[in-house]
């Protein structure tokens, strides 16, 4: 698939911050397609070990309804950017973009293990990838980067707004009853209500949405295998 090469990845943190501020103006927070039109959904995850500068990345593609595995792709690459909170996309997005160059039929939606607009400068991994790939993207994080929220109710589907600087940037969403919520924020080309509906649909059993859960297992298996 074609990639929008919006900038170089070889930048300083100061340049990265400027890029984030510039690109956040291009993020679209409205859904292009409705829920019923979604045929495929993908998830991207990246794993690394603290003692080495290598990234292990995977993209899993699944049929949306019924939820069923279709294919997976993976890549191993050296990290070109240090681990700095708030700049995760400059470390992880390049290797994910390389994977998408191998994918001939892009998915309808991409889930990312990271933030969308719930980010200090409004451009987390999901938003950054959405702009590069021109895909609807959703940030699915296990912890909060910015903002405050009240604990949602105990049942699956319960949610509470994630507020940052007086603006709602996502939700704390209970994807399984009586377990910790996950934090959903729009990445690109999607509205929040649609993003929540999609996440609940692809979380039939576990706290982590199924495509992301499979991608996470895959990158860890690749990392362990290649470290031996």
Report pLDDT digits (tens) over 36-79: 899 999 999 999 876 678 999 999 999 999 999 999 999 999 99
Residue 42: per-residue pLDDT: 98
Q: Which 3 state secondary structure label does DSSP give 148?
A: strand
**Residues 46, 135, 158: CA angle, nearest 5 degrees:** 75
Q: Is 155 exposed, middle or buried (0-12, 13-18, 19+ CB in 10 A)?
A: exposed
Query: Which has the closest alpha carbon to 221: 63, 47, 38, 36?
Result: 47
CA 97 – CA 175 distance, rounded (Å): 28
Residue 126: per-residue pLDDT: 98
Buried b (16+ CB within 10 A) or exposed e, 89-98: bbbbbbbbbe
Name the superfamily (CATH) of residues 28-176+186-227: archaeoglobus fulgidus dsm 4304 superfamily (3.30.2170.10)
Copy the structure tokens of residue 100.
């998408």
**Residues 58, 59, 65: CA angle, nearest 5 degrees:** 145
> Based on C-alpha coordinates, what's the Rg of the chain?
16
Which strand ranges, in their side-by-side order, compose the sheet holding 40-48? 68-78, 54-63, 40-48, 109-112, 137-141, 182-188, 167-173, 159-164
CA 177 – CA 133 distance, rounded (Å): 34
**Residues 54, 60, 64: CA angle, nearest 5 degrees:** 155
Q: Which 3 state secondary structure label does DSSP give 177?
A: coil
Q: Is the pTM of this model over 0.85?
A: yes
Copy the structure tokens of residue 74.
């993976």
Residues of the chain short of pLDDT 70, as ranges, are 50-51, 228
Neighbours of 142 (CB within 10 A): 13
CA 165 – CA 29 distance, rounded (Å): 18
Q: Where are the domains of the chain?
A: 28-176+186-227
Residue 154: per-residue pLDDT: 97
């Amino acid at each position: 698939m074609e990639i929008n090469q919006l900038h170089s990845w070889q930048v300083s943190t100061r340049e990265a911050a400027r890029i984030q501020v510039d690109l956040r103006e291009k993020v679209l927070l409205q859904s292009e397609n409705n829920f019923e039109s979604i045929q495929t959904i993908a998830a991207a995850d990246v794993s690394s070990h603290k003692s080495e500068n290598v990234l292990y990345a995977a993209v899993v593609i699944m049929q949306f309804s019924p939820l069923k595995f279709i294919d997976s792709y993976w890549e191993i690459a050296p990290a070109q950017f240090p681990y700095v909170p708030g700049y995760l996309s400059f470390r992880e997005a390049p290797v994910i973009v390389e994977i998408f160059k191998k994918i001939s039929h892009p998915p309808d939606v991409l889930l990312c293990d990271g933030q969308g607009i719930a980010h200090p400068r409004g451009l987390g991994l999901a938003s950054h990838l959405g702009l590069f790939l021109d895909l609807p993207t959703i940030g699915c994080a296990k912890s909060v980067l910015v903002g405050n929220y009240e604990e949602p109710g105990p049942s699956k589907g319960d949610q509470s707004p994630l507020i940052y600087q007086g603006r709602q940037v996502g939700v704390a969403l209970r994807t399984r009853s009586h377990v910790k919520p996950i934090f959903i924020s729009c990445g690109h080309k999607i509205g929040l209500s649609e993003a929540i509906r999609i996440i609940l649909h692809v979380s039939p059993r576990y706290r982590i949405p199924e495509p992301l859960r499979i991608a996470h297992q895959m990158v860890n298996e690749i990392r362990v295998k290649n470290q031996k």
